[in-house]
Structure 1
Amino acid sequence: MKGLNLNQLVFFKLYDKDHFILVWQEFWITGDCDGRGIPVSNPNGPLDHELFLLCARDTIKLLRNHPSLSLWVGGNEQTPPEDINTALQNDLKLHPYFQSSNKINEPLKDFSDPSQYLDGTRSYVQGSMWDGFANGQGDFTDGPYEIQNPEDFFRDDFYNYGFNPEVGSVGMPVAATIRATMPPEGWQIPLLRKHSDGYEEEVPNPMWKYHKYIGYSNNKMLDQIGLYGSAKDLDDFCEKAQLVNYIQYRALLEGWTSRMWTKYTGVLIWKTQNPWTGLRGQFYDHLHDQTAGFYGCRCAAEPIHVQLNLSTYNIEVVNTTSDDLSGIAVEASVWDLDGKCPYYKVTEKLSVPAKRTQTIIEMKYPKSKNPKPVYFLLLKLFRISDYGILSRNLYWLHLKSGDYKLLEQYRTKKIPLKITSKIFIEGSKYEVQMLVKNTNKIPDSIKLNLKNHSILSECEGCTEENHEVGLFKRIYQCFTKEDNGLRTVETNGTDSGVAFFLHFSVHATKKDKKDGEDTRILPVHYSDNYFSLVPGEAMPINISFEVPYGVTPRVTLRGWNYHTGQTIY
């Protein structure tokens, strides 16, 4: 993550202690202001070089003792003027002890006077696209920043260099954010203009264009929202956009980690959010509501992760930790739109070395006979000793040259759910702990094989109802030892299948709610969101938020199969 200049002490303190994120710290040089643009900006900026260096040296002294600080960078998409660059190179020269990684485990000997070094422990890079980043020469070899075919991220010719300092994609927020941001004239979804070559160009309304909207199609690929069927209105468009957001950012990161240390050394995503009401790549909008892209990225960025290579259809296990993995296995199950499981496989016992991505097996489905045109693939990486799940990853996929239009009629499916919850209130702060379960029965053909299907193993000699309560208590026993206060909500439904793309939101309860009024309480922290559950599967979800004085919150569950919404609390 690139460092911030505002409230840096708080920023670094949090990252040092809790978040395990390394910071890329830039100085105050940017191509937008120092040598580029129309008209061309001042290439010798800043105006006062001595003042700049005085501030830079103070910043180095302020930040150099923070372990989360990774490296110093002279400028973003630009290098500092020659005199400033030379001064920073001298001030930030490495101590000989830190010039070779081979010395890191050696005892410290003959450490010269530290006052000779303003830092001495971290590298200085003169610009974000120089010295080993992108093509290393300062050319614009970062990006791309637009929608991609998901499988392209995995292809060898997608990106030519080891470290990409910026890559991005789409980031449409939910419909409620659009309504809260723009007048009704801005609620018009893009029109499609068909070209002679068959390309359907998105034509956004003027307000979206002003807000720098990045579209969901380009002249290289089909409209990714259109793969789910033509969007009917703003709500439909934004919901389908969340599906695409999730797929895009998961594939983006999984494509890089698929070649971790064999081709790629790193990647930075531009950007987490827009500093204004922009409709460009983002993980959360200006109101602090996360898009589904955040959860796709979160899934792919697990330190230990199981994934499908969308180009080769090989199942891979990513181990970014410094410890070898052993005594593990992968479970792969395919679920069709009728709730059946036409493919199921558990691998033999596996081991994966530290800091390695390893190909495990090739997915034989959909190469088998009579594959379904649209299906779900659930991958689980688990410990053989206790069936504890280390990584879980669910894909929705279609056959080659196909689409997801069958999911449109899947919206009418009514999949039964059971949500057990407990609410903790401290002043204006709320914490909701839930266990969400798809109560469809597991098909008998695979029930005996799905050892790790539940979050925890079944308890002997108890009813299903008691088991659910017991399971909930065991998951959350670190929070409370109370036996009461549990609330259970069950949704009506008799259909079999996957409870698809479930997502929670928190709202203020209002009796006089106006049509289209945004009642969301933001920000809200979710342990997971935009998730799916196959038959018989359960998942714990934590939600925490703070409410304004006098406001009564309401927690709502929606999903692809639950478009009318269900109040949980």
Structure 2
Amino acid sequence: MWDGFANGKGGFTDGPYEIQNPEDPFKDNFYKYGFNPEVGSVGIPVAATIRATMPREGWQIPLFKKLPNGYTEEVPNPIWQYHKYLPYSKPGKLHDQIELYGTPEDLDDFCLKAQLVNYIQYRALLEGWTSRMWSKYTGVLIWKTQNPWTGLRGQFYDHLLDQTAGFFGCRCAAEPIHVQLNLATYFIEVVNTTAEELSNVAIEASVWDLEGACPYYKVFDKLSLPPKKVVSISEMKYPKSKNPKPVFFLLLKLYHVSNYSIVSRNFYWLHVSGGDYKLLEPYRNKRIPLKITSKTFIKGSSYEVEMKVLNKSKKPDPKTLTYKNNFAVRNDDSDFDMTSLKPIPDTRTDLKQPTGLFQRLYRQFSRESDGLRVAEINGSDGGVAFFLNFSVHAAKLEHEEGEDSRILPVHYSDNYFSLVPGEEMSIKISFKVPPGVSPRVALRGWNYHHGVHTVL
């Protein structure tokens, strides 16, 4: 069974199964064989899953213990220890990856920052492997995708079937044709795993700072991508510029020159060498305006929702023709089949529930237009709408503390996504509702942490 694996003679090693420096999977010494049958990393779920599966004593986040060598040791509570919690630090080797965003205040803060790390970890694992595909590596298997119990390590979806951000980071990296940043060299690469050459394509690379400005913009055109090859395009030189910002966003888009349809889109948040992400903490107070247009299809208990999310903080730059993110049609199986579903108008009035000022401003802009439901989240700041994620809930007016209102499982075409100023993204959501339950779709995000915003 193992012949042909690893060294070709049946000898192999597996792992690692722990937190990694994101750039390490791109390095030659990360794994010495060609095929790795098992590799994994961290996998904390969202706070709602912790509350739904553990007693109150298990809602306590790890203690961040400072060590004399400058590293941090995470000390989890006994319940997390029993559930095999895998820490986000390796004292002496790797600084705590959650603490790079600032010391978490509570369970919600900890789990949100953990999702940021989950996304980076699994995307880097897969992109590192594909960066050396056909030159060193032949393949890799992730261990594991799901926990058969309420475990707190290596998983793409938790015991309640809710995906972690690591799932979407992995899915991004596993595209058949994929544009990526080599985190070890900062060269832009394109991986073409298909048997077809891709020609007449271009790459748009844009850097965005925390003020909403775009200090770096490059287009690499007239590209041809041979089949089953990794092509190194060019170095992304913004970090070597005169005054790079300590924290910045990078958006890469591979598109067809003929019609600007997107083949691959990849969004990174990065810091300069030796830095951290702590400047993202005050960035949470930015109020980035959003417009969400939705159309709902229903058949029996099955719902399909098409969401278009627009970052309204800036009009699209005339030189940027890919802002609408019209993705090229792929000839593959899809999770979404709307051909047998009929659209339904949304005639519900807004749910009456306690809200703050920001939510009340939101509700003033919720309306229907031309059969579509349109919701607008008010804001006057410019910048990237960062780390947005949808969730589906039962439309109950009141919930006890710790009660899980989510409807699970839900399939998302994407989640934990970000939009640069003027950019629009289409998201498809698919789920089934239990008998007698009316669903609502909620939006959270890094800039939208003051409560849940019902957008449908």
TM-score scaled by length of structure 1? 0.72
Corresponding residue pairs, total: 420
Residue from 105, 120, 142 that aligns with 2:14:
142
Residue from 231, 255, 258 that aligns with 2:128:
255
Residue 264 (structure 2) pairs with residue 411 (structure 1): no
Task: Please give the per-residue CA displacement for 1:321-340, whole angstroms capped at 9, x wherever unaligned.
Answer: 00001001100000000000
The answer on whether the counterparts of 1:134 and 1:142 sit within 8 Å (CA) in structure 2 is: no
Which ranges of structure 2 fall in alignment gaps of 5 or more residues? 328-337, 345-368
Q: Equivalents in 2 of 1:162, 1:456: separation in Å?
A: 36
How do 1:101-112 residues align onto structure 2 when only pairs under 5 Å count? none
Which residue in 1 is equivalent to 2:350? Answer: none
How do 1:391-406 residues align onto structure 2 when only pairs under 5 Å count? 391-406=264-279
Residue from 434, 445, 455 that aligns with 1:559:
445
The answer on whether the counterparts of 2:299 and 2:342 sit within 8 Å (CA) in structure 1 is: no
Q: Equivalents in 2 of 1:348, 1:541: separation in Å?
A: 28
The answer on whether the counterparts of 1:377 and 1:396 sit within 8 Å (CA) in structure 2 is: yes
How do 1:422-441 residues align onto structure 2 when only pairs under 5 Å count? 422-441=295-314
Residue from 188, 192, 200 that aligns with 2:64:
192
Which residue in 2 is equivalent to 1:170? Answer: 42
Residue 151 (structure 2) pairs with residue 278 (structure 1): yes
3-state SS of 1:360 partner: strand
Q: Equivalents in 2 of 1:400, 1:478: separation in Å?
A: 51
3-state SS of 1:150 partner: coil
Which residue in 1 is equivalent to 2:361? Answer: none
Which residue in 2 is equivalent to 1:455? Answer: 325
Q: Equivalents in 2 of 1:455, 1:284: separation in Å?
A: 27
- Counterpart residue identity of residue 319, structure 2: N
Report the CA distance between 1:162 and its aligned residue: 0.2
Q: Equivalents in 2 of 1:414, 1:531: separation in Å?
A: 17
3-state SS of 2:429 partner: strand
Report the CA distance between 1:485 and its aligned residue: 2.4
Q: Equivalents in 2 of 1:492, 1:533: separation in Å?
A: 16
Which residue in 1 is equivalent to 2:347? Answer: none
Report the CA distance between 1:428 and its aligned residue: 1.4
**Residues 506, 380 of structure 1: CA spacing in aligned structure 2 closer, same or farther, 3 A cutoff?**
same
**Residues 360, 424 of structure 1: CA spacing in aligned structure 2 closer, same or farther, 3 A cutoff?**
same
Which residue in 2 is equivalent to 1:4? Answer: none
Which residue in 2 is equivalent to 1:214? Answer: 86
How do 1:312-351 residues align onto structure 2 when only pairs under 5 Å count? 312-351=185-224
Residue 254 (structure 2) pairs with residue 381 (structure 1): yes
Which residue in 2 is equivalent to 1:505? Answer: 391
Q: Equivalents in 2 of 1:307, 1:478: separation in Å?
A: 36
Q: Equivalents in 2 of 1:479, 1:540: separation in Å?
A: 18
- Give the share of equivalent positions with the same residue, in percent: 72
Report the CA distance between 1:566 and its aligned residue: 1.0
3-state SS of 2:239 partner: coil
The answer on whether the counterparts of 1:366 and 1:399 sit within 8 Å (CA) in structure 2 is: yes
Report the CA distance between 1:167 and its aligned residue: 0.3
Task: Please give the per-residue CA displacement for 1:109-167, whole angstroms capped at 9, x wherever unaligned.
Answer: xxxxxxxxxxxxxxxx1xxxx32323466666110000000000101111100000000
- Counterpart residue identity of residue 553, structure 1: P
The answer on whether the counterparts of 1:211 and 1:277 sit within 8 Å (CA) in structure 2 is: yes
- Counterpart residue identity of residue 511, structure 1: L
Which residue in 2 is equivalent to 1:495? Answer: 381
3-state SS of 2:38 partner: strand
Normalized per residue, which structure has more strand? 2
- Counterpart residue identity of residue 217, structure 2: Y
**Residues 421, 229 of structure 1: CA spacing in aligned structure 2 closer, same or farther, 3 A cutoff?**
same
Q: Equivalents in 2 of 1:449, 1:477: separation in Å?
A: 36
Q: Equivalents in 2 of 1:283, 1:488: separation in Å?
A: 31
Larger Rg: 1
Task: Please give the per-residue CA displacement for 1:284-326, whole angstroms capped at 9, x wherever unaligned.
Answer: 0010000000000000000000000000000000000000010
How do 1:522-561 residues align onto structure 2 when only pairs under 5 Å count? 522-561=408-447
3-state SS of 1:157 partner: coil
Q: Equivalents in 1 of 2:192, 2:24: separation in Å?
A: 22
Between 1 and 2, higher relative CO (CA 8 Å, sep ≥ 6) is seen in 2
- Counterpart residue identity of residue 452, structure 1: T
Q: Equivalents in 2 of 1:277, 1:555: separation in Å?
A: 25
Which residue in 1 is equivalent to 2:168? Answer: 295
How do 1:25-64 residues align onto structure 2 when only pairs under 5 Å count? none
- Counterpart residue identity of residue 211, structure 1: H
What is the root-mean-square deviation in Å for CA atoms of aligned residues? Answer: 1.8
Report the CA distance between 1:241 and its aligned residue: 0.2
3-state SS of 1:347 partner: strand
Normalized per residue, which structure has more helix? 1
The answer on whether the counterparts of 1:135 and 1:141 sit within 8 Å (CA) in structure 2 is: no
Q: Equivalents in 2 of 1:181, 1:140: separation in Å?
A: 37
Q: Equivalents in 2 of 1:231, 1:418: separation in Å?
A: 30
The runs of 4+ residues in structure 1 deviating greater than 4 Å are 135-140, 476-484
